[in-house]
């Protein structure tokens, strides 16, 4: 508890004791009316002093529909009609509610701060053998830093010396440590569990992974959800309306019934009007909605899912169509050779040898897979790479073409028709077709299950976009249980395909796109909810996406949908419950069926229950 909260708790405890003493005294000792009033004024002022003082201050500053003012008015009204204990009661409960609220909010703020406790406090720079401890913000790109076992990596960098297992749980929610060695990129925020690492810094602190994650999470509350905006708009009108109704309720019935000269009639209606004032404050609603979203975003963050705002968290649950990019998202993005076809006069090994030798310096994923498969790699000369098509080179004095079918045809080489349905690399030697190498990208192990789970969470339509050949795409789609496939797309066609899918949605639900951010940042931005998968590799993807999955597992997507569904359900429950109780009291009280106790429950009780319910959003099952 903070100092302020402690003071408030003490005040409440003291008031309760005083109120009990007064109630007992008034019960056993026959006192004149004025003495009873004075007696109950003691606990009232002890408990209500800060509220009354603030209410007075608010009137001076022109804030009349302030909750403190309304409470003051309601309790003074209760005094006027002779309900002395109830006035103190309302005041005490109001303060209990406030105290509880502030503790709950503080608790959830702290919990989320703990979850996001990845900020490094210092970096150890190494310069000419000298080691200095400095603030990470002072370290410049290109400098060397040392990270000892047990320490948090302060800045993004590349390993220059040493190897270690990194614990990335705080960033990715992944419990298995990641092994890194010389040449590997390391992101800030991981914890070095065993070895000593020397890193060369690649990004300044402000652009490092840690700084960007923190900024993203801290600003998440800024993008407000629809239900949040609805509730603040509602609150704006609710309070004045209820107050006006209270005024009418106090004045109209005695006047209309012609009993304006009977005090007991007046006091009865004033009492009913005071119940209106007690429930006129919309605090339960207004606080529980952002509290739920904040909890949901924080809980998801602990699982390695960064959601950029309440708005997006709310929208995820409304996505009934999921569109996936194939390579790197549904598949592992690592190709392996699945088959080698060869023409007469060549062997399987020949085809691999020529292809690997020609492509050995290429960074294309297909080239790397071919090189990994070939037993032998010779020397190549005159290598020319034509982006998107392939390479030409001289291998052992022979002119070799390696690449797409189009590359070979372009060079006047006939390619037989029925070769393979897979992604393939074609090889020609000395102007003659030599064979082709079929490659496969395996689907992720958890992909099938994740898609099935998405369906069980209510996702209706699952589509796949890919630049691959149709046959290969359809086979993967069948294996994974995907409904629609859009194959052989160029990167620029993907937005159009997503829009086409979007235009078929007629029920008002939304479209989510999941991609790894390579080539698909425009689609991420165009989708209702864009998920960037596999972390912080691409700045453009993180910028364009609405949610970032820090690990490569599709299971995170299921968690994100589950969190969103749960959070929006909690928000709905709170709104419906609070409104139902308040309106019930608004109906019952003019009829004389409600008392102050029920009014207090409708205000403080509902607030406490709504806040407790909202805190559930933070807890996420793995």
Residues 285-324: x/- map of binding to another protein (CB under 8 A)? -xx--xx-xx------------------------------
How far is residue 424's CA from residue 422's CA, in Å, rounded to a whole number?
A: 6
Judged by beta carbon, residue 236 or residue 381, the one nearer another protein is: 236
Judged by beta carbon, residue 280 or residue 315, the one nearer another protein is: 280
Beta strands 390-395 and 398-403: pairing type?
antiparallel
How far is residue 160's CA from residue 406's CA, in Å, rounded to a whole number?
A: 42
* Three-class DSSP labels, 53-113: HHHHHHHHCCCCCCHHHHHHHHHHHHHHCCCHHHHHHHHHHHHHHHHHHHHHHHHHHHHHH
How far is residue 375's CA from residue 502's CA, in Å, rounded to a whole number?
A: 48
Judged by beta carbon, residue 63 or residue 499, the one nearer another protein is: 63
Residue 223 contacts another protein per CB under 8 A: yes
# residues near another protein by CB under 8 A: 28
Between the CA of residue 561 and those of 100, 312, 313, 554, 556, what are the distances in Å?
Answer: 30, 11, 9, 11, 9
Residue located via tokens 């709104």:
575
Cβ 622 to another protein, closest distance in Å? 24
Out of 162, 221, 522, 590, the only residue in the binding site for another protein (CB under 8 A) is: 221
How far is residue 87's CA from residue 77's CA, in Å, rounded to a whole number?
A: 8
Residue 108 contacts another protein per CB under 8 A: yes
Residue 236 contacts another protein per CB under 8 A: yes
Q: Which of residues 57-96 bind another protein (CB under 8 A)?
A: 57, 61-63, 67
Judged by beta carbon, residue 217 or residue 489, the one nearer another protein is: 217
**CA 351 to mean position of chain CA atoms:** 49
Query: Near another protein by CB under 8 A, which window of 162-170, 218-226, 242-250, 257-265?
Result: 218-226
Cβ 589 to another protein, closest distance in Å? 22
Judged by beta carbon, residue 108 or residue 168, the one nearer another protein is: 108
Between the CA of residue 209 and those of 118, 203, 550, what are the distances in Å?
Answer: 10, 9, 11
Out of 105, 158, 245, 438, the only residue in the binding site for another protein (CB under 8 A) is: 105
Out of 116, 164, 220, 548, the only residue in the binding site for another protein (CB under 8 A) is: 220
Q: Which of residues 247-286 bind another protein (CB under 8 A)?
A: 281-283, 286
How far is residue 195's CA from residue 193's CA, in Å, rounded to a whole number?
A: 7
Cβ 364 to another protein, closest distance in Å? 41
Cβ contacts of residue 278 below 8 Å, gap of 6+? 70, 71, 74, 90, 596, 599, 600, 602, 603
Cβ 102 to another protein, closest distance in Å? 7
Q: Looking at beta carbons, which pairs linking 374-380 to residues 24 or more positions away fall under 8 Å?
A: 374/349, 375/349, 376/349, 377/353, 378/353
Q: Which of residues 412-451 bind another protein (CB under 8 A)?
A: none
Copy the structure tokens of residue 257: 């019934």
Copy the structure tokens of residue 165: 């297992």
Out of 9, 235, 399, 438, the only residue in the binding site for another protein (CB under 8 A) is: 235
Judged by beta carbon, residue 124 or residue 223, the one nearer another protein is: 223
Cβ 232 to another protein, closest distance in Å? 4
Residue 226 contacts another protein per CB under 8 A: no
Cβ contacts of residue 196 below 8 Å, gap of 6+? 146, 147, 148, 149, 162, 164
- Identify any residues that bridge with 131 across adjacent strands, giving them in sequence order: 126
Judged by beta carbon, residue 291 or residue 436, the one nearer another protein is: 291
Active site residue 325: yes
Task: Indicate which residue of 66, 156, 325, 552 is catalytic.
Answer: 325
Cβ 527 to another protein, closest distance in Å? 23
Cβ 57 to another protein, closest distance in Å? 6
C-alpha angle with apex 350: 346 to 353, nearest 5 degrees?
Answer: 160
Residue 232 contacts another protein per CB under 8 A: yes
Cβ 7 to another protein, closest distance in Å? 14
Out of 206, 218, 445, 539, the only residue in the binding site for another protein (CB under 8 A) is: 218
Judged by beta carbon, residue 2 or residue 488, the one nearer another protein is: 2
| Helix (H), strand (E) counts: the chain | 21, 22
* Catalytic residue ranges: 325
Instruction: Kindly list the residues in this chain that would bind another protein in the complex (CB under 8 A).
Output: 57, 61-63, 67, 102, 105, 108-109, 218-224, 232, 235-236, 281-283, 286-287, 290-291, 293-294
């Amino acid at each position: 508890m903070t100092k302020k909260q402690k003071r408030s708790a003490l005040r409440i405890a003291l008031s309760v004791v005083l109120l009990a003493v007064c109630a007992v005294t008034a019960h056993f000792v026959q006192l004149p009316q004025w003495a009873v009033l004075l007696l109950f004024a003691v606990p009232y002022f002890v408990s209500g002093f800060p509220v009354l003082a603030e209410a007075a201050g608010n009137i001076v500053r022109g804030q009349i529909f302030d909750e403190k003012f309304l409470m003051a008015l309601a309790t003074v009204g209760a005094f006027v009609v002779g309900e002395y204990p109830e006035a103190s009661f309302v005041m005490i409960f109001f303060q209990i509610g406030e105290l509880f609220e502030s503790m709950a909010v503080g608790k959830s703020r702290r919990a989320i701060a703990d979850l996001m406790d990845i900020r490094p406090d210092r970096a150890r720079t190494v310069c000419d053998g000298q080691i200095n401890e400095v603030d990470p913000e002072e370290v410049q790109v290109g400098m060397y830093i040392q990270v000892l076992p047990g320490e948090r990596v302060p800045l993004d960098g590349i390993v220059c010396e040493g190897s270690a297992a990194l614990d990335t749980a705080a960033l990715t929610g992944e419990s298995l440590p990641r092994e890194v060695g010389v040449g590997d990129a390391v992101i800030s925020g991981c914890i070095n569990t065993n070895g000593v690492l020397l890193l060369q810094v690649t990004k300044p602190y402000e652009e490092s992974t840690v700084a960007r994650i923190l900024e993203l999470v801290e600003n998440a509350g800024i993008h407000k959800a629809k239900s949040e905006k609805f509730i603040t708009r509602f609150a704006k009108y609710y309070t004045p309306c209820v107050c006006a109704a209270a005024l009418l309720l106090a004045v109209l019935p005695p006047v209309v019934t012609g009993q304006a000269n009977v005090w007991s009639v007046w006091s009865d209606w004033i009492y009913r009007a005071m119940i209106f004032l007690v429930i006129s404050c919309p605090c339960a609603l207004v606080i529980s909605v952002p509290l739920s979203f904040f909890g949901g975003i924080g809980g998801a963050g602990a699982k390695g899912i960064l959601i950029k705002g309440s708005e997006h968290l709310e929208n995820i649950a409304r996505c009934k169509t999921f569109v996936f990019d194939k390579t790197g998202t549904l598949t592992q993005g690592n190709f392996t050779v699945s088959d080698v076809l060869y023409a007469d006069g060549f062997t399987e090994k020949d085809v691999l040898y020529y292809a690997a030798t020609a492509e050995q310096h290429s960074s294309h994923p297909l080239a790397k897979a071919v090189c990994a498969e070939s037993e032998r790699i010779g020397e190549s000369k005159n290598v020319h790479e034509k982006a998107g098509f392939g390479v030409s080179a001289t291998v052992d004095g022979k002119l070799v073409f390696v690449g797409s079918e189009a590359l070979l045809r372009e060079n006047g080489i006939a390619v037989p028709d029925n070769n393979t349905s897979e992604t393939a690399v074609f090889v020609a030697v000395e102007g003659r077709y030599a064979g082709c190498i079929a490659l496969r990208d395996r689907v992720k192990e958890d992909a099938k299950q994740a898609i099935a789970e998405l369906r069980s969470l209510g996702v209706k339509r699952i589509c796949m976009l890919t630049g691959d050949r149709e046959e290969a795409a359809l086979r993967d789609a069948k294996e994974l249980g995907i409904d629609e496939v859009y194959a052989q797309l160029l990167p620029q066609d993907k937005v159009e395909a997503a829009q086409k899918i979007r235009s078929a949605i007629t029920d008002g639900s939304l479209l989510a796109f999941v991609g790894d951010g390579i080539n698909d940042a425009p689609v991420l931005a165009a989708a209702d909810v864009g998920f960037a998968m596999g972390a912080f590799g691409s700045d453009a993807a993180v910028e364009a996406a609405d949610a970032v999955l820090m690990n490569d597992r599709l299971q995170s997507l299921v968690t994100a949908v589950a969190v969103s569904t749960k959070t929006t359900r909690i928000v709905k429950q709170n709104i419906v419950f609070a409104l139902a109780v308040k309106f019930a009291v608004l109906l019952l009280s003019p009829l004389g069926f409600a008392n102050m106790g029920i009014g207090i429950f409708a205000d403080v009780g509902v607030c406490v229950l709504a806040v407790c319910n909202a805190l559930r959003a933070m807890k996420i099952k793995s």
